[in-house]
Chain A
Amino acid sequence: MTAVSRSASPKAARGRRSFSLMIGAGLLGVIVVLAILAPWITPHDPLAHNLDSILAPPSSDYLLGTDHLGRDVWTRLLYAARLDLLIGVGAVITPFVTGTLLGAVAGYYGGRIDLAVSAATDMLFAFPYYVLIIALVFSLGPGIPSIFIAMAIVAWVSYARIVRGEVLSARGQQYVMAAKTLGYSDLRIIVRHILPNVITQPVTYAMSDIVVIIVGVVTLSYLGLGVPPPTPDWGSMIASGQSYLTTQWQLSTIPGIAVVIVGLSFSLIGDGLTHRLRPE
């Protein structure tokens, strides 16, 4: 079966990739819509304690039951989606921009600038990603601003490395030569001519990076270093439900499944985009 599909026409392969793009976008779309509509489609307040009905089982009133402070799990799940998706998408922007620019400059000019940027990326790549993030957040103090700063410091290296390679090969191409001959400034050549041609690579990478960042935020919150309570977040929901795992398994499991679904949908989108945008 695999052999057959491998030998099938490029068109069929592209169709299959479109399929994964559609599934991914569909899943993500549903989650994003639910998250946006959270205040209107959830009947409860995500923060209000209701100490008379703690650890209630799922019911028509509480779709997924309540947590240890009587808060509605379904409501918190959706509000957590808002925050975690926001952080995931938001935290990818700074590294995307800085990484892309630094990579482009390094690839275009080469020489000492390239050496400096490459040395910095190599140095950061030498450390395990999560270890670095956790160490940075820990020293900056827990909280969302620290997460943004840590991601900005650590995550740009992948973009820089990808863009640098692309720019290196674009530098010798005819359209760049032509632009140079016409006397365009370096800035104009990089921004107007090279970047639009190489940007698809970092954009597709950003899709998988969002997954990494969301998982990172959830992990940090699980460890008590991320989103501070009582703000709902999947990581802190998993952590606080853990004590009740043997009796109220859904408290930790459902937010965990939410993370998996979001991760899966971004991965499918990234996968679909990669092949969609690949030149034939």
Chain B
Amino acid sequence: MSLFKKKAAIGVSLLLVLSLLAAACGDDAEEAPATTAAAAVTTTAAPATTAAPAEEDPAPADDDMADEEMPAEEDDMADDDMMEEDPDAPKRGGDLVFARHRDNTTLDPGAAVETDTIYVLDHIFETLFATSADGASVDPWLASGSEVSEDGKSWTVTLREGVEFSNGQPMTSADVKWSIQRAIDEAAFGFLLSAIESIETPDDMTVVFNTSFPWAPFLADLSVWAAAIMPADYAGMSAEEFFENPIGTGPFLFDEWVPGEYIRLVRNDNYWQEGKPYVDSVTWTQVPDDNTRVLQLEGGQAHIVQNVPLNVLDSLNEKDGINATTFPATTVYWVSFNTTIEPFNDRHVRRAIAHAIDQDAIANAALFGHGGPACSVISPAVPFHDPDTPCLESNMDLARAELAQSSVPDGFAAEYLVGDQSPNLPIVEIIQGQLAPLGIDITIRTIDPGQFYSTIFVFDYEIAFTGWTMDIPDPDQKISFMFDPELGGGDSYSTGYDNPDMIELVRAGQTTFADADRAKIYADIQALNAEEVPFIPLVVLDAPFAWSDSVKGLWVNPVGKRHLEDVWLDE
């Protein structure tokens, strides 16, 4: 008996040893492909040039949208009987379901920093001015007009008549003064309004803002979500109580939030735009998986889905009952560096990386024709974008020459932090391949999108995949956030980049009123970034959406505002 066992044991040990040998052989051979890969990747650096779709003028699409909207607004007064007779007239009712990859993080516009949180809050709270349909300027929203004094330091804003909060209380200048002061004092993006020195309220419908110096982007800054108008003193509640059940002037009221699942808003019957909103409720569901969101749309569980994978967008549009397309957007993605640590404080290192990255190849492989290569940190859809920004050429020889002048001529190892959502990871993988020939060994560290910003805000990274989608139609918001470490509110977007020349330009851009002069200043800023590259622009991207045929009147303006008060359901 025991002899048999012994034999078997030897047999089994042999098997184990054999498989180990096999594994060991594998280990040696494993290293070979790594080096050949490095050589092979250089061939992909040859620029594959095709037209950049993002260069197309976004205006026509927006004009179409705006035209569709106009009749809807004029039909506001039509009664229910008339609506049923006219198939094109908006129908009231229905519960709209909007699926997205991320959940809200807060209901407080002061605390909100992520676009997906902001886009929901936009429907509860509103601002004095709002971005126009073409994304180029602001229109009066809760305001009816404004006037600036000759010295450019005093803005008189008249409020819109007949605006009530969802609790029935009329909006007055006292509410505006309190809300803007709260934003300056408490909001994460309150720095945008920091030029305001004092706020006066000569009467119930007039607010006068005095700024400490002439402030060009003032009206655009008033359109930022953080400047949301709320009832003064939280309508007598504590801040905690108020944001459990927030009161705003928006088209919808907060109803229910189950974190990680959905957030539901219901119609505000007191809304100042007569007849709107059309739908009874909007439910934003959190569906992290890209394919599941699309399947939910096809299965009828969702009406609108965002962040549609770019590779399925065109084939999805072919399907019956589904529309899938991109809306022009202001999104630019870039490589950003933690310039407070070595070797990224060395501009030669950053420039070498910029030379090694081939934006055309990235745009072609990762965006499936729904975006294009980027050169400037300011998207073409944003005012003062300079198409002639002198960007560093994609050229491996120049990259090697640049790295040779740096503190790490033979390369280095670095960690690349990326939020795990489409289309980020493939872009980072391509860059990993493009940097390998320089001896730069990139380890990709993926992180949950919800944790991404909290990680980079504490500088817990070396290289990161970040970007920006505009919230207001003026470049100052992001330019000061990216380049002014003192007043910009974000340590130069968590890069720690601190350049006195750049800061001077940023502040000149804020205090210069003439558009031609501002264009020159912002061109200088874009050129200086292209030379110093604390941010290496990669691609510009339109916003991919898909929605069922039953959804009417959907449009998304270039700063991402959804305006779901204009949407109605034909079910």
Q: Is the CB of A36 within 8 A of B25?
A: yes
> With A45-B40, A48-B37, A69-B430 in contact, do A243 and B8 touch (Cβ < 8 Å)?
no
Picked from B1, B9, B36, B430, the residue with its CB within 8 Å of the CB of A51 is: B430
CB closest residue in chain A, given B423? A243
In the assembled complex, the Cα of A90 lies from the Cα of B20 at a distance in Å of: 8
Q: Is the CB of A39 within 8 A of B33?
A: yes
CB closest residue in chain B, given A25? B15
Q: Min CB distance, B151 to chain A, in Å? A: 55
Q: Is the CB of A47 within 8 A of B445?
A: no
Residues of B within 8 A of A7 (CB): none
Q: Does B341 contact A (CB under 8 A)?
A: no
Picked from B33, B420, B433, B446, the residue with its CB within 8 Å of the CB of A69 is: B433
> Quick check: which of A113-121, A146-154, A155-163, A192-200 contacts chain B, the rest being far away?
A192-200
Q: Is the CB of A277 within 8 A of B5?
A: yes
Interface centre among A48, A142, A228, by most B CB within 10 Å? A48
Q: Min CB distance, A22 to chain B, in Å? A: 13
Q: Is the CB of B5 within 8 A of A197?
A: yes
Q: Does B70 contact A (CB under 8 A)?
A: no
Residues of A within 8 A of B33 (CB): 39, 45-47, 79
Q: Number of A residues contacting the other chain (C-beta, 8 Å)?
A: 49
> With A203-B9, A243-B291 in contact, do A90 and B23 touch (Cβ < 8 Å)?
yes
Q: Does B26 contact A (CB under 8 A)?
A: yes
Q: Is the CB of B315 within 8 A of A230?
A: no
Q: Min CB distance, B107 to chain A, in Å? A: 30
Q: Using a CB-CB cutoff of 8 Å, which residues 409-444 of chain B contact chain A?
A: 420, 422, 425-426, 429-430, 432-433, 443-444
> Quick check: which of A81-89, A181-189, A212-220 contacts chain B, the rest being far away?
A81-89
Picked from B6, B32, B430, the residue with its CB within 8 Å of the CB of A196 is: B6
Residues of B within 8 A of A46 (CB): 33, 37
Q: Does A273 contact B (CB under 8 A)?
A: yes
Q: Is the CB of B429 within 8 A of A82?
A: no
In the assembled complex, the Cα of A47 lies from the Cα of B312 at a distance in Å of: 25
- A71-103 CB mask vs B (1 if < 8 Å, else 0) is 000000001001101100110000000000000
Q: Does B69 contact A (CB under 8 A)?
A: no
Dominant secondary structure of chain A at its interface with chain B: helix
Q: Is the CB of B12 within 8 A of A243?
A: no
Q: Min CB distance, A84 to chain B, in Å? A: 10
Q: Is the CB of A196 within 8 A of B9?
A: yes
Q: Does A55 contact B (CB under 8 A)?
A: yes
Q: Is the CB of A51 within 8 A of B34?
A: no
Residues of A within 8 A of B25 (CB): 36
Q: Is the CB of B361 within 8 A of A51?
A: yes
In the assembled complex, the Cα of A146 lies from the Cα of B126 at a distance in Å of: 49
Q: Does A242 contact B (CB under 8 A)?
A: yes
> Quick check: which of A8-16, A56-64, A244-252 contacts chain B, the rest being far away?
A244-252
In the assembled complex, the Cα of A85 lies from the Cα of B25 at a distance in Å of: 12
Q: Is the CB of B294 within 8 A of A246?
A: yes
Q: Is the CB of A69 within 8 A of B365?
A: yes
CB closest residue in chain A, given B27? A86
Q: Is the CB of A51 within 8 A of B23?
A: no
In the assembled complex, the Cα of A196 lies from the Cα of B10 at a distance in Å of: 9
Q: Is the CB of A47 within 8 A of B37?
A: yes
Q: Is the CB of B40 within 8 A of A68?
A: no
> With A51-B430, A229-B429 in contact, do A83 and B422 touch (Cβ < 8 Å)?
no
Residues of A within 8 A of B32 (CB): 39
Residues of B within 8 A of A39 (CB): 29, 32-33
Q: Does B311 contact A (CB under 8 A)?
A: yes
- B142-178 CB mask vs A (1 if < 8 Å, else 0) is 0000000000000000000000000000000000000
Residues of A within 8 A of B312 (CB): 244, 246-247
Residues of A within 8 A of B432 (CB): 229-230
Q: Does B499 contact A (CB under 8 A)?
A: no
Q: Min CB distance, B362 to chain A, in Å? A: 8
Q: Using a CB-CB cutoff of 8 Å, which residues 316-363 of chain B contact chain A?
A: 361
Q: Is the CB of A243 within 8 A of B36?
A: no
Residues of A within 8 A of B12 (CB): 200, 203-204, 273
Picked from A54, A196, A240, A243, the residue with its CB within 8 Å of the CB of B290 is: A243
> With A45-B37, A196-B9, A230-B432 in contact, do A243 and B309 touch (Cβ < 8 Å)?
yes
Q: Min CB distance, B358 to chain A, in Å? A: 9
Q: Does A224 contact B (CB under 8 A)?
A: yes
Residues of B within 8 A of A247 (CB): 311-312, 315
Q: Is the CB of A243 within 8 A of B311?
A: yes
In the assembled complex, the Cα of A54 lies from the Cα of B422 at a distance in Å of: 16
> With A89-B19, A228-B443, A243-B290 in contact, do A277 and B44 touch (Cβ < 8 Å)?
no
Residues of A within 8 A of B420 (CB): 224
> With A240-B425, A246-B312 in contact, do A49 and B291 touch (Cβ < 8 Å)?
no
Q: Is the CB of A35 within 8 A of B446?
A: no
Q: Min CB distance, A46 to chain B, in Å? A: 6
10 contacts between A and B (CB under 8 A): A48-B36, A51-B361, A82-B30, A85-B23, A89-B20, A229-B429, A230-B432, A243-B311, A245-B291, A246-B295
> Beyond the given A52-B48, A279-B5, could you list 9 further A-B residue pairs with CB under 8 A, ordered by the A residue number?
A48-B433, A49-B365, A49-B429, A68-B365, A70-B365, A85-B23, A90-B20, A90-B23, A276-B8
> Top 6 A-B pairs ranked by shortest CB distance?
A47-B37, A48-B40, A82-B26, A86-B23, A51-B365, A224-B446
